[in-house]
Amino acid sequence: MSKRAFTLIELLVVIAIIAILAAILFPVFAQAKEAAKKTTCLSNEKQVGIGLYLYVQDADDTLPMANYPAAYVGPPFTQFSWHAGAGKGELNWADLLLPYSKSIQVFKCPTDSTGQYTPAGVAIPGAPLSMALNAYFYSQPNGVRRFSLTGGSMSEITTSSSKIFALETASDSSNELMRPDRWKAPNGSSILERHLGGANYLYADTHAKYHKMPQWWKNPFTWNNPDLAQNQPCPQWFPWLDTSEEKW
**8 A C-beta contact, residue 223 and residue 179:** yes
Q: Is 46 part of a structural domain of the chain?
A: yes
pLDDT confidence of residue 150: 87
**8 A C-beta contact, residue 106 and residue 123:** no
Q: Is 169 part of a structural domain of the chain?
A: yes
Rounded CA-CA distance 119/43 in Å is 30
Cα dist. 229→15, 87, 245 in Å?
56, 37, 16
pLDDT confidence of residue 22: 78
Q: Is 3 part of a structural domain of the chain?
A: no
pLDDT confidence of residue 215: 94
Residue 38's closest CA among 198, 227, 206? 198
Q: Is 248 part of a structural domain of the chain?
A: no
Number of domains in the chain: 1
Q: Is the preceding omega at residue 226 within 30 degrees of 0, hence cis?
A: no
Q: Is 2 part of a structural domain of the chain?
A: no
Q: Is 193 part of a structural domain of the chain?
A: yes
Q: Which range marks the domain in which residue 175 is found?
A: 10-237
Q: What is the pLDDT along the chain (248 residues), one digit of tens a residue?
A: 566 666 778 778 888 888 888 777 667 666 778 889 999 999 999 999 999 999 999 999 999 999 998 888 889 999 999 999 999 999 999 999 999 999 999 999 999 999 999 998 899 999 999 999 999 999 999 999 887 788 999 889 999 999 999 999 999 999 999 999 999 999 899 999 999 999 999 999 999 999 999 999 998 788 999 999 999 999 999 999 999 999 99
Q: Is 1 part of a structural domain of the chain?
A: no
Q: Is 111 part of a structural domain of the chain?
A: yes
Rounded CA-CA distance 209/200 in Å is 6
Give the residue ranges of DSSP H helices in 102-247: 226-229
With a CB cutoff of 8 Å and minimum separation 6, the contacts of 49 are 202, 203, 206, 207, 208
CA Rg value for the chain = 22
